[in-house]
Amino acid sequence: MITKKQVQVLNFIKAFVTKNGYAPSLEEIKKKFKLASVSTAHYYISKLQDAGFLNKEHNQPRAVSTVKTKQTVEIPILGAIAAGMPIEAIEIPDETVTITRDEIGKSGKHYALRVQGSSMIEEGIFDGDIVVIRKQDVAENGQTVVAVIDDNEATLKKLYRENGRFRLQPANPTLFSIYRDEVEVRGVVVKIIRSFESQLDRGQSRDEKYVRKIDYSWDYRGEKTKAHTHGIHTYPAMFIPQVGRRLLETYSKEGDTICDIFCGSGSSLVESRLLGRNAYGIDLNPLAIFLAKAKTTPINPQKLTKEYFALLERFENIKDSEIQRPDFKNLDFWFKDAVIVKLAKLKKAIIEIKDETIQNFLMIALSETVRYSSNTKTGEFKLVRIKGEKLEKHNPNVLTIFRKNAEKNIAGMTDFYKDAKKDSWTKIIYSDSSKDSGIKANSIDCIITSPPYGDSRTTVAYGQFSRLSSQWIDVFDDPNDASGVDNDLLGGRAAKNLAHMLSSNYLSESLDKIAKVDEARARDVLSFNIGLNDCLKQSYRMLKSGKYFCLVVGNRLVKQVRIPTDFIIAELAEKIGFTCEDIIVRNIPGKRMPIKNSPTNIVGALEETMNKESIVVLRKN
Ligand SMILES: C[S@@+](CC[C@H](N)C(=O)[O-])C[C@H]1O[C@@H](n2cnc3c(N)ncnc32)[C@H](O)[C@@H]1O
């Protein structure tokens, strides 16, 4: 099922292939249709691939080389339909959508409607989408139907029959159901076509220069995010692999060298390896470095499994007198004695593994076991101790937790080992990305990253999250140094005063507003942005000309002031020598982030933090 514009793109590709013998590149498609960015060209290609008009040939620079011919049908768009309050159907003459026969089946008559309103968002139907309807006057319970009520008012809802009447159920928790004794069904939804270009979010934009483009196709709601080695360890604010993959496929090609300047646990590096890109990852949190290395180093699963069973056997034979308790502050506050003994036995059994990569990989399962068996609340990123009766009853089975993690991780590594491209490499560097990390100037083909949110008091404290694990698995020479990590990260130390040389009006406005309420917090925000600006400069240095730098960022709230980090980055980057090509907004369905925080530190004063994020696409001039 494709739109008119997609048909035009398809026709262009076919004509190009006939003339040149090969397919046009994304750049050529962008130029031909005067698209805002190559990501839009990529979007069209993926839609044509999903609809079966183009073959999927991943990782080819001209990835659309084979065109299939399929039987297509044109479906008339008859009008608009409300996915909110019922409206009278509005006729839109002469508009059609083209879809392949396979998508709707051989039988039945079909028509299409453009959706208005947001009452079906939980069914994945959004304002501006086109729905294809199979004509029929009956429907099964729970089907999404075009229903006409009260003579001539049409609406799109899920239909249920109950207690002798009909319930028209919206798929949006903020809206109420409509009940009627009579409902006329005009058809059921068989396909949804996502509107892409029409959705712009002008909130906070001072002029037309930067505009956020809302694009639900980046949400990946309900998709599996723990495949390969992605699920081996929790880490705050991880990339959804699909987002990393799509950025890599759009802005780089096989054989390229990419860099993630805030690589965290290494999600983008895993995807790079799977897609045949060489990759550098940089981070300043030692636990992140450890995780990223383990996630991106392929290990033969047979050898791994053998070592795993041997370690379980060793564990059983270690006597309590043989273990060494770790030596860090507050050990007994965070762990019960029985837990310490079991963890120490597991650690001893792991350290005896001679192969360092296998030892490190199994240490990851121990690190996760530390989190789950400690006296901390596991749903939190900060260290919060379980209290009272709950703490008394807390009796975690350390070995069971470890085994569950290790076995899940071995399964992930088995897939990664099979799918990782053998001739590409990954290098992880422990460094501060606002300084020279040693990566050569003009050597990187693409930078993909998600920066920290800046203020650990209301968002994410990476160091605090990592502390107990880091102390157990020896990523620091002195485990007590683990408490200092957050101070060294971007924005970790407040600026001395509010004087600055950064060229961003959006930043200056935000700082003024925050400083009126809380000067210290404004200095935190400034410090973060000074560091971020230095990271942008370093990225400019490393990147080749004409290449892309994608940042996935959250616009956080400080003292009730929403800071437009995406626009600030665009302004700062353009001063350095980038062009901002795109700002795409996506929902965060499953990111491991605090959904609510207390911006005023008043109990109960909850404010949504990060349920949306922006993807800022920069290009080095
Ligand atoms: C949003 S997280 C990245 C998560 C990552 N995308 C993943 O999937 O795991 C941001 C990371 O930036 C790191 N970081 C903060 N300041 C840094 C700096 N100055 N230099 C390098 N890394 C830094 C933090 O340690 C954290 O791991």
Determine which residue's CA is closest to atom 15 belonging to ligand 1. Answer: 489
Ligand 1 centre and the CA of 175: distance in Å? 39
pLDDT in tens, 328-345: 999 999 999 999 999 999
Amino acid at 537: K
Mutate which of 287, 462, 538 to test ligand 1's pocket (most atoms within 8 Å of Cβ)? 462
597 lines ligand 1 (CB under 6 A): no
Among the atoms of ligand 1, which is closest to the Cα of residue 264?
A: 27
Higher-scoring residue by pLDDT: 94, 113: 113
Ligand 1 centre and the CA of 489: distance in Å? 8
Candidates 513, 543, 378; CA nearest to 448 is 543
Ligand 1 centre and the CA of 523: distance in Å? 21
Tell me the C-alpha distance between 257 and 19, whole Å: 32
What helix, strand, coil percent values describe the chain, rounded to 5? 35, 20, 40
Which residues are marked as active site?
A: 119, 157
454 lines ligand 1 (CB under 6 A): no
Query: What percent of the chain stands above pLDDT 70?
Result: 88
Q: Provide the 8-state DSSP code for 320.
A: G
* Residue 298 CB contacts under 8 Å (≥ 6 apart), including other chains: 273, 413, 416, 417, 420, 422
196 lines ligand 1 (CB under 6 A): no
288 lines ligand 1 (CB under 6 A): yes
Determine which residue's CA is closest to atom 8 belonging to ligand 1. Answer: 238
290 lines ligand 1 (CB under 6 A): no
406: part of which helix (H) or strand (E)?
A: helix 398-419
Q: Which of 216-220, 305-309, 447-451 is predicted with the least confidence, judged by mean pLDDT?
A: 216-220
Ligand 1 centre and the CA of 393: distance in Å? 36
Name the pLDDT band for 509 (thresholds 50, 70, 90).
very high
Q: Which of 92-96, 318-322, 442-446 is predicted with the least confidence, judged by mean pLDDT?
A: 92-96
Checking if the pLDDT of 67 tops 80, the result is no
Please spell the DSSP secondary structure of 444-470, one letter per residue: EEEEEE----S-TTTS--HHHHHHHHH
What pLDDT does residue 610 have? Answer: 56
Ligand 1 centre and the CA of 274: distance in Å? 21
pLDDT in tens, 497-508: 999 999 999 999
262 lines ligand 1 (CB under 6 A): yes
Determine which residue's CA is closest to atom 17 belonging to ligand 1. Answer: 489
pLDDT in tens, 401-432: 999 999 999 999 999 999 999 999 999 999 99
What pLDDT does residue 442 have? Answer: 98
